[in-house]
Amino acid sequence: MKPSPLWYWAHPPDRHMRRSGEDYLYPFLSMLPQGQAWPKHTPDSTLYQVSKGLTEIWGFVDGRAADLLERESDPRQTLELLPDWERAWGLPDECIGQKQTIADRQRFLVLWMTYLGGQSRQFYTEALKLINYQIEVSEFREWSPFMVGISNVGDTRNPDDPMVDVDGNPYIFRWEIGRPEMRFYWSIKVGGVNINWFRCGWHGSECGVDPHCTIAAVTDLECLLYRWKPAHTEILFDYSGVGPPDPMEGTP
C-alpha cells in the first residue's frame, strides 16, 4: 500500500529537493497584486514573461545549490571543487607523476582521507585496491638464512604453500643459504597496469592532445610502497606476467 502524503512529510528523503524555474514561477505569480493591470495568468503578457525570466534564475541558483549539497560535498563524486578538496589534503602527491583522470584523482583523494596506516598484508592490498592496483604480498620470513642449531636439513618445503613450480611441486624451502639480511626482504607481485582510454564529455579527454589509449607506468605504486614500508625492510617488485586480463579493460 502506498504511504499517504503525510507519511512523506514526516519521513522526508535524505536528499536536497531540486526546484526548477517553473516551480518558482507560480508561487511568485500568486503573490502579485490582483487586477487588470496585473495580467499574471496570461502567458503572452510582458509581466508573465518577465516573471518567468526572473524565476528561471532562481531555478538555476537552486540547481547549483543542489550540486553543492549532493555532489561537490562528496569527495567520491566532486568535480568542480575537486581542486579545493585536493588542496585541503595536500594533493596532488609527489608520488603521482603521470597525468591522472578525474576518476583517478577522486580515488586517490578518498584513499588519502581514509588512510590510517598499517603494516599487514591486508593493509597494503586494500589500500592500493582503492587506486586500482591489484597486488600480492609475499613475506620472506619463511626464507630465513640457514642457522646451525635452529634450521633443519632435508626437504623442508611446505606442501600447502601456494607457490609451486611447473610440475605443481612447492619450491620454497623453509631454510635457504644466503645473507642474514634476506629476512628483511618482502615481495610485491603487481597484477596489472592502469589503462586510460580517451573519454568524451565534460571533464573528458581533449582532441589533438590526449592519445586514444595510454598505459600508465607503476611509478606511483612503487613510490607509495617505499614510503609506507617498514624502515628496516626492502621490497622486491615482481612484474612477471604484468598486463590487463582483458585488452578492452577500462572501456565504458
CA atoms in the 13 A half-sphere facing the CB of 24: 19
What are 146's three cell numbers? 640457514
For residue 135, the cross-strand partners are 190
Q: What is the pLDDT along the chain (252 residues), one digit of tens a residue?
A: 445 544 444 445 556 678 898 889 999 999 999 888 889 888 999 999 999 999 999 999 998 998 888 899 999 999 999 999 999 998 888 887 656 778 888 888 998 998 888 888 889 998 888 887 888 888 765 455 666 666 666 666 655 655 555 566 555 555 555 566 777 888 888 877 666 677 776 556 777 777 777 766 678 888 999 999 999 888 988 877 666 556 565 555
pLDDT at residue 153, as a whole number: 67
For residue 154, the SS3 value is: coil
**CA–CA separation, 127 vs 116, rounded Å?**
10
> Is the torsion defined by CA of 104, 110, 113, 114 positive or negative?
negative
Nearest Cα residue to 130 out of 155, 153, 104, 163:
104
Give dist(CA 2, CA 8) in Å, integer.
Answer: 10
DSSP state of 232: T
Name the 3-class secondary structure at 135: strand
DSSP state letters, 64-129: HHHHIIIIIT-TTT-STTHHHHHHHTT-S-TT--S---HHHHHHHHHHHHH-----SHHHHHHHHH
Task: State the pLDDT at residue 5.
Answer: 47
Q: List Cβ neighbours of 14 (8 Å cut-off, separation of 6 or more).
A: none
pLDDT in the model for residue 250? 55
CA separation for the pair 247, 230 (Å, rounded): 36
Whether the full predicted model's pTM is greater than 0.75, yes or no, is no
**Could you give the CA distance from residue 245 to residue 215 in angstroms, rounded to a whole number?**
14
